[in-house]
Chains A and B, each alone.
Chain A
Amino acid sequence: MEASKRQDLLTLMADKMNRAVRLYLENCSRCGTCIDACHAYASTRDIRFSAVGRAQNVRRLFENYFRVTGKIAPWLNDAETLDEAWMDKLYETAFSCTGCRRCMVYCPFGIDTQQIQAIAKALLIGMDMDPKPLTMRARGEIDKAKNLELTRQKLEKELTGVKAELLEKYPSLEGKEIVPLDKEGANILFVSMVEKPSIASGAAILNAAGESWSLSYFEAVNFGAFAGNANMSEQIYGRIVAEAERLRVKELVICECGTAYRIMKHIIGKRSFRVISILELVNRYLTEGRIKLDKSSIEGTVTYHDPCQIARNSGVYEAPRNVIRAFTDSFVEMIPNRSENWCCGGGGGLVIAQEPEFRMMTSRVKADQIRAAGADILATACEMCLAQLKDLNDEFELETDVKLVSDLVYEALVFS
């Protein structure tokens, strides 16, 4: 690697530094408590895929270029030179980490592996080694905001199908504005996946509750965040923030997308609107008696997979459970659950950035956990988890029906 290139990369690394990151890099005692926390390690017993194993790849660079001990006695903490071979190692461990932060629950210091891997991802972007399927999708998301007319045309095409489906299911919607767009002063801006299933279930719930709402032009998912590209991530969520502020909505409701929810809830800072997830909203409607669910429409036992970004990393634990209990009396918990739930193995954009073989190999513990729950339906609240859990279901022949909670709500919805 040329010296000037290395220097550029080290500048990127320095830019990533803040109080927390420095503490995370400097204070690991390599006690190994986090090792068993990672689904990838637990499934493969390969130390490279443990939290500390991954973090050491970044920490060893930090030792070499940012700490005096690395300069005086590089052998002391295994200081490492930044070169092409090391960049390959960074790729291997950064894009096999889902950023689930389960290891953070185990670590006595609460070291955040996701933050450390963000450094690795920044260096990979600097070397043009970022996973192109993620970056290309991120670029596509940004472009949507640049050509709003084209975006609107495409969305309206999608909405034709949604409206037809809802009208067929609920004829009483005839003559009503089934999926409002650009509705200024609405209570809610609903951010879906801009695909028929995601819009349809959300629209059905919002209409059933008689809500004043508007559908966002943009999809919730943030591929910039998955790629570790802070700049792209900001542009992507910025589109939605601008839309919500333009329409002066009171609440921004995020569909079942874990990363989007965490970004909007905890990363964008204080805004003029409140952020909640669709399942928190459904829970509220149920409590207020604004919607009703028919328990006879969902058959079999239901279990729930807590998506890492919604549960452990955002604190939404009980709302999805309350919603599930509203449409079934046969709810069983997966063990472990809530903050200790195993990651599905597909988060952090891995569903797109990683080969299915790798995702299956590193998620065996998740498959075992689902099998042990023995439920007929596996419900979750994140589209990325959904895709990964469906793959696991097929690969490990788990014989469960993998669904989003909102889709089950849609099935059980009593529309008056």
Chain B
Amino acid sequence: MVNAFWYFVMVPMVYISVIWCLVGIVVRIAQVVREPRPPHTLRIFRDDETPEDPLGAGLGAAFLDALTMPSIRRYQPVFWVFLMIFHVSLLVLVVAHLDILPQINILSAESQHMLGNGSVGVFFTVSLAYFLLRRFKGPVREVSVASDYLLLVLLLSIAITGDVISWGNSWTEQGFVITKQEFGQYMTGLLTLSFADPLKLLPGTHYVVIGTHVLLVNLLLIFLPFSNLMHTCFSVPLNALRRG
């Protein structure tokens, strides 16, 4: 029964969550696109004296705004540092997870570690902890709603279980309990729709931690289209509106 539960989480539920998430994102984007265009410009006019990048209007500038968040850098520099740590480590973590696949070899195929040797996850976790703490004090607390906390707790749980997999997995007398190559087989199985039982590929007590990590990621994927993580898709068009 327990094994069946973890099998469901680690195989069918992954497919369900990914499809749900993709469809949800498409629906959310469609909801925006089918609305009429705004009737006039919503531009904020920059001036020559206040710092700005030289790109002016257009999508390139909006993309840069979305990526580097210059207004937060100017008005909330500490928050900006953590935001940059968060976003950069998130990007590296996505690449690091892809690197687990045997077909992708950013690190050598024999490497036991993920990209960053587990350090990236720590940066990711610390930045999330900062975001969560920030929501408990000052005026930000007054404007936060349940979903803001829920999302951060979910992300933080994913980060912590990820850290446990990265670090705890290697802190045994025998070295790595589950190797990167074994993770690679599990992910290949998912990609090739083999429906193989991951328990056979990922042996040992760490299986439950990995299962929990995957379960939380599944939940995040299900929640994502309804959450303000959708700003990933909308930040560029929003900034383009301001750029005019």
Q: Which residues of A contact B (CB under 8 A)?
A: 17-24, 26-33, 35-37, 41, 47, 50, 52-53, 56, 67-69, 75-78, 101, 104-112, 115, 266-267, 269, 311-315, 317-318, 337-340
Contact across chains for A20 and B230 when beta carbons are under 8 A apart? no
Contact across chains for B143 and A30 when beta carbons are under 8 A apart? yes
5 A-B pairs with least C-beta separation? A110-B242, A315-B45, A32-B140, A20-B38, A338-B47
In the bound complex, CA of A17 to CA of B145 (Å): 23
Interchain CB contact (< 8 A) of B33 among A19, A21, A53, A338: A19
Contact across chains for A27 and B38 when beta carbons are under 8 A apart? no
Interchain CB contact (< 8 A) of B44 among A24, A52, A67, A101: A101
A-B contacts, 28 of them at CB < 8 A, read A19-B35, A20-B42, A22-B35, A23-B32, A24-B238, A27-B230, A27-B234, A30-B143, A31-B140, A33-B75, A36-B75, A52-B143, A53-B143, A75-B146, A76-B147, A105-B71, A106-B75, A108-B69, A109-B234, A110-B242, A110-B243, A312-B45, A313-B45, A317-B49, A318-B48, A337-B49, A339-B47, A339-B50
Residue of chain B at shortest CB distance from A75: B146
Residue of chain B at shortest CB distance from A105: B44
Tell me, rounded to whole Å, the shortest Cβ–Cβ distance linking A343 to chain B: 14
In the bound complex, CA of A378 to CA of B35 (Å): 44
Most buried by B among A22, A31, A77, A317: A31
- A18-B36, A77-B147, A78-B146 given; name 15 further pairs at CB < 8 Å: A21-B38, A22-B35, A29-B228, A29-B231, A76-B146, A77-B146, A104-B44, A108-B72, A110-B241, A110-B242, A112-B42, A266-B40, A267-B40, A312-B45, A317-B48
Q: Please give, as numbers and ranges, the residues of chain B lying within 8 Å of A266 by CB-CB distance.
A: 40-41, 43
Q: Please give, as numbers and ranges, the residues of chain B lying within 8 Å of A21 by CB-CB distance.
A: 35, 38
Contact across chains for A18 and B241 when beta carbons are under 8 A apart? no
Q: Please give, as numbers and ranges, the residues of chain A lying within 8 Å of B31 by CB-CB distance.
A: 22
**B 68-109 binary contact with A (CB < 8 Å = 1; else 0):** 010110011001000000000000000000000000000000
Interface size in chain B (residues, C-beta < 8 A):
51
Q: Please give, as numbers and ranges, the residues of chain A lying within 8 Å of B28 by CB-CB distance.
A: 26
Contact across chains for B231 and A109 when beta carbons are under 8 A apart? yes
Contact across chains for B139 and A50 when beta carbons are under 8 A apart? yes
In the bound complex, CA of A29 to CA of B234 (Å): 12
Interchain CB contact (< 8 A) of B139 among A27, A35, A101: A35
Q: Which residues of B contact A (CB under 8 A)?
A: 28, 31-33, 35-50, 65-66, 69, 71-72, 75-76, 79, 138-140, 142-148, 150, 226, 228, 230-231, 234-235, 237-239, 241-243
In the bound complex, CA of A276 to CA of B75 (Å): 33
Contact across chains for B147 and A111 when beta carbons are under 8 A apart? no
Interchain CB contact (< 8 A) of A115 among B42, B45, B231: B42
Q: Please give, as numbers and ranges, the residues of chain A lying within 8 Å of B36 by CB-CB distance.
A: 18-19
In the bound complex, CA of A124 to CA of B28 (Å): 29
In the bound complex, CA of A23 to CA of B38 (Å): 11
In the bound complex, CA of A105 to CA of B69 (Å): 11
Tell me, rounded to whole Å, the shortest Cβ–Cβ distance linking A117 to chain B: 13
Tell me, rounded to whole Å, the shortest Cβ–Cβ distance linking B194 to chain A: 34
Residue of chain B at shortest CB distance from A72: B226
In the bound complex, CA of A50 to CA of B79 (Å): 19
Known: A101-B44, A312-B44. Contact between A19 and B139, CB under 8 A?
no
Q: Please give, as numbers and ranges, the residues of chain B lying within 8 Å of A107 by CB-CB distance.
A: 71
Q: Please give, as numbers and ranges, the residues of chain B lying within 8 Å of A29 by CB-CB distance.
A: 148, 228, 231
Most buried by A among B32, B33, B230, B243: B32
Tell me, rounded to whole Å, the shortest Cβ–Cβ distance linking A19 to chain B: 5
Contact across chains for B228 and A339 when beta carbons are under 8 A apart? no
Q: Please give, as numbers and ranges, the residues of chain A lying within 8 Å of B138 by CB-CB distance.
A: 32
Residue of chain A at shortest CB distance from B148: A30
Contact across chains for A106 and B71 when beta carbons are under 8 A apart? yes
Q: Please give, as numbers and ranges, the residues of chain B lying within 8 Å of A109 by CB-CB distance.
A: 231, 234-235, 238-239
Q: Please give, as numbers and ranges, the residues of chain B lying within 8 Å of A26 by CB-CB distance.
A: 28, 32, 228, 230, 234
Contact across chains for A340 and B50 when beta carbons are under 8 A apart? yes
Contact across chains for A32 and B234 when beta carbons are under 8 A apart? no
Tell me, rounded to whole Å, the shortest Cβ–Cβ distance linking B83 to chain A: 8
Tell me, rounded to whole Å, the shortest Cβ–Cβ distance linking B234 to chain A: 5
Q: Please give, as numbers and ranges, the residues of chain B lying within 8 Å of A17 by CB-CB distance.
A: 35
Contact across chains for B71 and A108 when beta carbons are under 8 A apart? yes
